[in-house]
Amino acid sequence: MAVLVAGGAGYIGSHMVDRLIEKGYDVVVADNLSTGHRAAVHPQARFYEGDTRDAQFLDDLFAKEDIEAVIHMDAFSLVPESMKKPLKYFDNNVIGMIVLLEAMQRAGVKYVVFSSTAATYGNPERIPIHEADRKEPINSYGESKLMMEHIMKWVEQADGIHSVALRYFNAAGAKADGSIGEDHHPETHLIPIVLKVAAGQQDRLKIFGDDYDTTDGTNVRDYIHILDLADAHILAMEYLKQGHPSDVFNLGSSTGFSNREILEAARKVTGKEIPAEVAPRRGGDPDTLVADSSKAREVLGWNPQYDNIEDIIKTAWTWKQKHPNGYADRS
Ligand code: UFG
């Protein structure tokens, strides 16, 4: 039986597929390549190009493949874009999930592990954030993911599809050998932009706001290595297969770094000056997001391997140096 990774050509999805294959799983990938890259898909995965909002595409895939569980990472995930185009986010993320669940129901697939986000919490009531804390998203991306979580509760009751929602904090880094990594167009994430400046592809970093309620005034985020994230999905999938109930887990390192601290760490890792200037705030950014991830450690047995921000940035830098233009260098 195989695992379907929806969105398996994306940044997180490609690392997910890589890890599953390394661990001996039979892997099928579905991706419409709207933001993913064909070259990012592991050669041992069976690739189907199509959209998770396309019921016929999914029915055909489930008819051809013997899928036991779905890892659903097919979603738009850019906070600033979601502030400008909320309907795009509700369409792709919420409708996409509904069409996928309907196809799973028809095919009798009972397990789904899906990407949720720290953005479901909005401005958190306390730091570190626990799973049961108040969830009031301040961007439509976070709202779309919270809706996906709510949908699952009712689908489980009615259809017996069991789920784990994994609320990622800030995914970062790349496979250590630099063979796959982050490649978004346009790039909006802090670490890849800092490394673009380090590589001389961009003049300077714009730090969006230095008047937040944090120690140095810049936003604080919790960076978690992409392969540690991937491992949590495998544990969650096996947990469901063992008959455990549906649940929700935070995935973070439990340590916060301000945007300025990330810049300093990147200067150290790369040995480059990395010019930066303060720019106005970007919409939809909470002051601080740091996870309490003890539940994933205790319940799933999750044991993240990367506990040092410089090591995480180093893996992203290796990818950047080997592929300065991302997957365009590999096709
Ligand atoms: N930032 C800058 N300059 C830039 C880019 C980003 O100052 O050029 C700042 C942002 O304003 C923010 C921080 O860097 O303060 C991190 O921004 P990212 O865009 O890298 O990441 P986000 O925290 O906005 O979002 C990421 C994922 C989301 C997820 C969220 C959870 O993209 O999917 O983490 O914390 F929901």
Closest CA relative to residue 236, chosen from 114, 77, 105: 114
Encoded tokens for 91: 């369409």
Q: What residue's CA is closest to ligand 1, atom 32?
A: 78
**How much is the pLDDT for 331?**
53
Contact 6, 72 (CB under 8 A): yes
Q: What residue's CA is closest to ligand 1, atom 21?
A: 189
For the CA of 142, the closest atom of ligand 1 is 36
For the CA of 168, the closest atom of ligand 1 is 31
From the CA of 171, how far away is ligand 1's center (Å)?
10
**How much is the pLDDT for 330?**
66
What 3-state DSSP class applies to 71? strand
Annotate 276-302 with b (16+ C-beta within 10 A) or e (fewer): bebeeeeebbbebbbbbbebbeeebeb
Q: Indicate whether residue 169 lines ligand 1 (CB < 6 A).
A: yes
What 3-state DSSP class applies to 136? strand
CA distance to 4, 199, 206, per residue, from 268 (Å): 39, 14, 19
For the CA of 194, the closest atom of ligand 1 is 8
Q: Indicate whether residue 274 lines ligand 1 (CB < 6 A).
A: no
Encoded tokens for 25: 């799983």
Q: What residue's CA is closest to ligand 1, atom 16?
A: 190
What's the pLDDT tens digit per position in 203-229?
A: 999 999 999 999 999 999 999 999 999
In whole angstroms, give the CA distance from residue 323 to residue 192: 12
Task: Using most ligand atoms within 8 A of CB, pick from 115, 193, 259 the residue to mutate for ligand 1.
Answer: 259
Rounded mean pLDDT, 85-114: 97
Q: What is the DSSP letter of 140?
A: H
Element (H, E) at 107: helix 96-107
**How much is the pLDDT for 139?**
94
Q: Indicate whether residue 144 lines ligand 1 (CB < 6 A).
A: no
Q: What residue's CA is closest to ligand 1, atom 13?
A: 190
Q: Which long-range contacts does 42-47 make (Cβ < 8 Å, 24+ apart)?
A: 42/14, 42/17, 42/18, 45/5, 45/8, 45/17, 45/21, 46/2, 47/8, 47/9
Beta strands 67-72; 111-117: pairing state: parallel
**How much is the pLDDT for 283?**
85
In whole angstroms, give the CA distance from residue 191 to residue 176: 16
**How much is the pLDDT for 284?**
85
Rounded mean pLDDT, 95-116: 97
Q: Indicate whether residue 130 lines ligand 1 (CB < 6 A).
A: no
In whole angstroms, give the CA distance from residue 225 to residue 311: 9
Rounded mean pLDDT, 289-306: 97
Q: Indicate whether residue 229 lines ligand 1 (CB < 6 A).
A: no
Could you write out the DSSP letters of every residue in 23-44? Answer: TT-EEEEEE--SSS-GGGS-TT
Helix axes 190-198, 309-322, angle to 10 degrees: 60
From the CA of 114, how far away is ligand 1's center (Å)?
20
Q: Is the pTM of this model over 0.85?
A: yes
Helix axes 11-22, 226-241, angle to 10 degrees: 60
Work out the pLDDT band at 329, boundaries 50, 70, 90.
confident
What 3-state DSSP class applies to 279? strand
Q: Examine the residue annotation and report whether 141 is marked as an active-site residue of this protein.
A: yes
Choice between 284 and 30, residue whose per-residue pLDDT is larger: 30
What's the pLDDT tens digit per position in 69-99?
A: 999 999 999 988 999 999 999 999 999 999 9
Contact 320, 288 (CB under 8 A): no
Rounded mean pLDDT, 296-307: 96
**How much is the pLDDT for 286?**
92
32 CB contacts (<8 Å, ≥6 apart)? Answer: 49, 50, 51, 52, 74
In whole angstroms, give the CA distance from residue 58 to residue 199: 41
Average pLDDT, the chain: 96
**pLDDT at 200 exceeding the cut of 70:** yes
Rounded mean pLDDT, 320-326: 96
CA angle 31, 60, 183 (to 5 degrees): 5
For the CA of 205, the closest atom of ligand 1 is 8
Options 48, 141, 212, 327, the catalytic residue: 141
**How much is the pLDDT for 6?**
98
What's the pLDDT tens digit per position in 127-182?
A: 999 999 999 999 999 999 999 999 999 999 999 999 999 999 999 999 999 999 99
